[in-house]
Amino acid sequence: MNVIHIKSQSRNQLIDITRMVGDVVQQHSVQDGICIVFVPHTTAGVTVNENADPDVQRDILLGLERMACHADYHHCEGNSDAHLKASLMGSSQLIPVENGSLVLGTWQGIYFAEFDGPRQRRVIVQILNSTAGR
Amino acid sequence: MNVIHIKSQSRNQLIDITRMVGDVVQQHSVQDGICIVFVPHTTAGVTVNENADPDVQRDILLGLERMACHADYHHCEGNSDAHLKASLMGSSQLIPVENGSLVLGTWQGIYFAEFDGPRQRRVIVQILNSTAGR
Amino acid sequence: MNVIHIKSQSRNQLIDITRMVGDVVQQHSVQDGICIVFVPHTTAGVTVNENADPDVQRDILLGLERMACHADYHHCEGNSDAHLKASLMGSSQLIPVENGSLVLGTWQGIYFAEFDGPRQRRVIVQILNSTAGR
């Protein structure tokens, strides 16, 4: 069980963790398999999206804000939008591993999705060996 | 292949299946690996979110309702919102397994997400051993 | 690493890839395990939903359009809605494999979700053997 520690800086934030996840993959001897990124929080998630123009991350957060804001939430902590956004992004992501490295598209990065920061957060990274017959 | 049977009670409902999934994990001899929860339906999904205040579940359903309702759907069965919500939550979730138990955050529960109930539903649970080199 | 090549025909499109993914599963000797479908793009994703009435696919795209359109996006390429939709659907899906075949519900199909087509696209398919003790 590999744990990455993160400190988010604002209430809504997409934090690029691609290199940190890639480092965990490098430390394992798995050549072919899958990498699982799991977020053990309920007001944060994880997503895979563009790593080039930071405006994409800003726009994703803006779009989610418009979708998840709502006048009639009941939850007393006042962060129901964060819980909804976490479920929309998901608490886990899967990335293939080949030749000991993450198989990501040219423009793909892995983002920790903070929706109720700033906070100290954790991300769990697992690697499973592919034992598929060929 | 382990199957959990569920009976939903209303059209939209988040049903806590954490204990049922955990029981399946306990029955296996896998110490370290991942647990996969898969929903074989198209108007229901599965999500991981807060297990404490039931208002969070209510608010997630409310937020999804606002997002997915639409005046111009064509699908004759009139449940297009349910299909969209199912894809937004996803048909599967992954949870790490360590020392023979689910690794969930303190406030995390696994929820079957019903969007076109009440119905009899099934959930498939699989456990994969981690054979990753360390 | 199995790669499926797809050519999308319009900007927003759900393309049924169930048979192509099933063919990859058939070519492997894995009897029990999971199939992972991964999309290495940032303006497309993958989802599991109804394979019967094509209006469901149309309505899902319509609902996503309404959710993701926004007046104040900054990203210069003008396709921020596509990035957001990709994260909402997800870049990967998991489907159980039993007796050498995909375990999908009666009405479930696997859809490549194009949000910025028409384009040439790739889908990565992996199969992991279940080595879980029973």
**Roughly how many angstroms between the first and final C-alpha of chain C, as a whole number?**
28
ipTM: 0.95
Name which of B38, B41, B48 to mutate to probe chain C: the one with the most chain C Cβ atoms within 10 A of its Cβ.
B38
Q: Record the tokens describing residue B75, joined without a space.
A: 């699908």
CA distance B132 to A31: 9
Given a contact cutoff of 8 angstroms between Cβ atoms, the answer to whether C119 and C8 are in contact is yes
Given a cut of 70, whether residue C6 has pLDDT beyond it is yes
Q: Is residue B114 part of a domain?
A: yes
- pLDDT, one tens digit per residue, over A114-123 is 999 999 999 9
3-state secondary structure of B48: strand
Tell me what the mean pLDDT of segment B8-25 comes to: 98
Neighbour subunits, B (≥3 Cβ pairs < 8 A) = A, C
Q: Record the tokens describing residue C26, joined without a space.
A: 């058939």
Tell whether C129 lies on the interface with A, counting CB pairs under 8 A: yes
Q: Is residue C63 part of a domain?
A: yes
Q: Is residue B134 part of a domain?
A: no
Q: Is residue A134 part of a domain?
A: no
The pLDDT value recorded for residue A22 is: 98
Name which of B21, B34, B48, B84 to mutate to probe chain A: the one with the most chain A Cβ atoms within 10 A of its Cβ.
B48
Q: Is residue B107 part of a domain?
A: yes
Domain harbouring B10, CATH code: 2.60.120.460
Residue C72 pLDDT grade (very low, low, confident, very high; cuts 50, 70, 90): confident
Q: Is residue C93 part of a domain?
A: yes
Q: Is residue A100 part of a domain?
A: yes
Mean pLDDT estimate for chain A: 93
Given a cut of 60, whether residue B133 has pLDDT beyond it is no
The pLDDT value recorded for residue B131 is: 65
Q: Which domain holds residue A66?
A: 2-129
CA A123 to chain CA centroid, Å, is 8
pTM: 0.96
Alpha-carbon distance B43 to nearest alpha carbon in chain A (angstroms): 16
Closest CA to A118 of A4, A13, A39: A13
Give alpha helix (H) positions in C54-130: 54-68, 80-89
The pLDDT value recorded for residue A25 is: 96
Name which of A84, A116, A121 to mutate to probe chain B: the one with the most chain B Cβ atoms within 10 A of its Cβ.
A84
Q: Is residue C134 part of a domain?
A: no
Tell whether A47 lies on the interface with B, counting CB pairs under 8 A: no
Alpha-carbon distance A95 to nearest alpha carbon in chain B (angstroms): 13
Tell me what the mean pLDDT of segment B80-92 comes to: 97
Tell whether A85 lies on the interface with B, counting CB pairs under 8 A: no
- Count other Cβ atoms within 10 Å, centred on residue B62: 18
- pLDDT, one tens digit per residue, over A28-51 is 888 899 999 999 999 999 999 999
The pLDDT value recorded for residue B134 is: 39
Count the domains in chain C: 1
Q: Record the tokens describing residue B112, joined without a space.
A: 């079957």
**Backbone phi and psi for residue A101, each to the nearest 5 degrees, phi listed first:** -130, 155
Residue B30 pLDDT grade (very low, low, confident, very high; cuts 50, 70, 90): confident
Residues in chain A within 8 Å Cβ distance of C76? 53, 55
Alpha-carbon distance C15 to nearest alpha carbon in chain B (angstroms): 15
Among B94, B130, B132, the residue with its CB nearest the CB of A92 is B94
Q: Do C42 and A128 make contact, defined as CB atoms within 8 angstroms?
A: no
Residue A71 pLDDT grade (very low, low, confident, very high; cuts 50, 70, 90): low
Residue A131 pLDDT grade (very low, low, confident, very high; cuts 50, 70, 90): low
CA distance C6 to C124: 11
Residues in chain C within 8 Å Cβ distance of A133? 28-30, 129
Given a contact cutoff of 8 angstroms between Cβ atoms, the answer to whether C95 and C102 are in contact is yes
